[in-house]
């Protein structure tokens, strides 16, 4: 692919062209020239868009599709198309499929399905066989096939000895173990945050304590094993404090937060809208503010959309019976951009790559073009027209958003929102 990008502002703190408005020439998928003005050398395709900005390609550390087994929710092909149109060039795909991704052959299948796509798919293997929490899956074999981490998606590891063994075993090949932060006996049958809202609505609550106990336990196990741990989608102020302290003690820990847990709070649940039923649940505004502060000071390493398509049959039911999950790729940047500066937004959408073993592609001459294309300044309302996913369970429907994603340049391909 050959392309001349005209008059674009570079947002990449690692690039010599950071905050500069330049032209970028791409030949056969490689950036060959960056300059204030470039004359089209061979009548290449020219890209010129309103207030165009480019950054290193964004990475989402927690994405679910459906294939194999739940194709009615989302296929791999449409999921990766959605990611591209949402500005992501790399996604880590969760193993919550049928069958569960828990072997070398399963990981190889996912890699083969995405071998020629613009978006790079990075499989996350199940930590335990069939994600049942009883015995470890084939971790080393899966990493050999291309798995970048291991977790039982949204299923806490209840047996602490199993997590201890996983951390010890995976450290032998630098494997990244993920542990979902919820103590199931404390969370019980809670479906929303345990607070004033849950009491007023008569819905069972899932308290902050359920998350914080699990985070504290897992950090103790990490300190004992000297392993490598990632805690996905934290949601409480106390979790931020616990992880901040662990990092001060030099533990090898990282964590993420879902965009909706940063931007939305549990006061919205008075409508009983099942698109708001997510795990971990929406917490209080105080928790939201603590999470934002955790991002700003570096305690929280990355942001995820936690994209989880759920078909209408499992969402258009009573709140208690609806499945957890929201689609989030389409809204990730434009929602995050409402609560963070542009510089910080781009930082937390790209920072997670190194933790998952994915190479950065700094915007510089001679590097492969791995770019997200966007306009950070437009303001509008998120509607069904913004949705590219097969499932429509979008938590941000009707909310004000800031910015517009144009598409990506990655893997020698250009994908644009038309």
Query: Active-site positions?
Result: 306
Strands 253-258 and 302-304: parallel
Q: 10 Å Cβ neighbour count for 399?
A: 18
Q: What are the structure tokens assigned to 355, written together? A: 């933790």
Contact of 76 with 97, CB cutoff 8 Å: no
3-state SS, 274-338, equals: HHHCCCCCCCCHHHHHHHHHHHHCCCCCEEECCECCCCHHHCCCCHHHCCCCEECHHHHHHHHCC
Q: How far is CA 20 from CA 15, 172, 360, 405, in A?
A: 10, 43, 20, 19
Residue length of the chain:
418
What is the C-alpha separation between 94 and 131, in angstroms, rounded?
11
């Amino acid at each position: 692919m050959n392309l001349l990008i005209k008059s674009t502002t570079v947002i990449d703190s690692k690039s010599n062209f950071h905050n500069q408005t330049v032209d970028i020439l791409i030949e056969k998928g490689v950036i060959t020239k960056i300059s204030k003005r470039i004359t089209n050398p061979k009548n290449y395709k020219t890209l010129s868009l309103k207030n165009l900005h480019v950054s290193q390609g964004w990475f989402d550390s927690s994405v679910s599709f459906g294939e194999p087994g739940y194709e009615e929710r989302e296929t791999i092909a449409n999921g990766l198309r959605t990611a591209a149109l949402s500005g992501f060039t790399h996604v880590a795909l969760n193993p919550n499929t049928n069958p569960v991704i828990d072997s070398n052959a399963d990981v190889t299948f996912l890699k083969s399905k995405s071998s020629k796509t613009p978006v790079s798919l990075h499989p996350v293997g199940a930590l335990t066989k069939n994600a049942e929490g009883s015995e470890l899956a084939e971790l080393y074999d899966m990493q050999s096939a291309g798995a970048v981490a291991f977790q039982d998606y949204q299923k806490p590891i209840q047996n602490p000895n199993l997590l201890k063994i996983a951390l010890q075993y995976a450290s032998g090949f630098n494997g990244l173990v993920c542990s979902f932060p919820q103590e199931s006996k404390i969370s019980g049958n809670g479906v929303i945050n345990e607070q004033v809202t849950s009491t007023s609505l008569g819905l069972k609550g899932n308290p902050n304590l359920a998350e914080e106990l699990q985070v504290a336990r897992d950090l103790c196990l990490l300190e004992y094993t000297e392993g490598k741990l990632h805690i996905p989608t934290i949601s409480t102020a106390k979790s931020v404090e616990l992880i901040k302290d662990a990092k001060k003690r030099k533990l090898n820990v990282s964590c993420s937060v879902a965009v909706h847990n940063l931007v939305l709070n549990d006061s919205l649940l008075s409508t009983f809208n099942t698109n708001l039923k997510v795990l971990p649940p929406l917490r209080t505004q105080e928790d939201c503010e603590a999470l934002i502060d955790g991002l700003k000071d570096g305690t929280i390493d990355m942001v995820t959309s936690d994209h989880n398509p759920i078909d209408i049959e499992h969402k258009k039911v009573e709140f208690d019976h609806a499945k957890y999950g929201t689609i989030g790729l389409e809204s990730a940047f434009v929602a995050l951009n409402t609560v963070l500066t542009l510089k910080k937004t781009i930082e937390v959408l790209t920072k997670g790559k190194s933790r998952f073993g994915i190479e950065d592609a700094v915007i510089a001459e001679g590097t492969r073009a791995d770019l997200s294309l966007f306009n950070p300044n437009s303001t509008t309302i998120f509607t069904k027209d913004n949705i590219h996913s097969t499932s429509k369970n979008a938590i941000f429907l009707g909310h004000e958003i800031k910015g517009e994603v144009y598409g990506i340049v990655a893997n020698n391909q250009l994908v644009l929102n038309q």
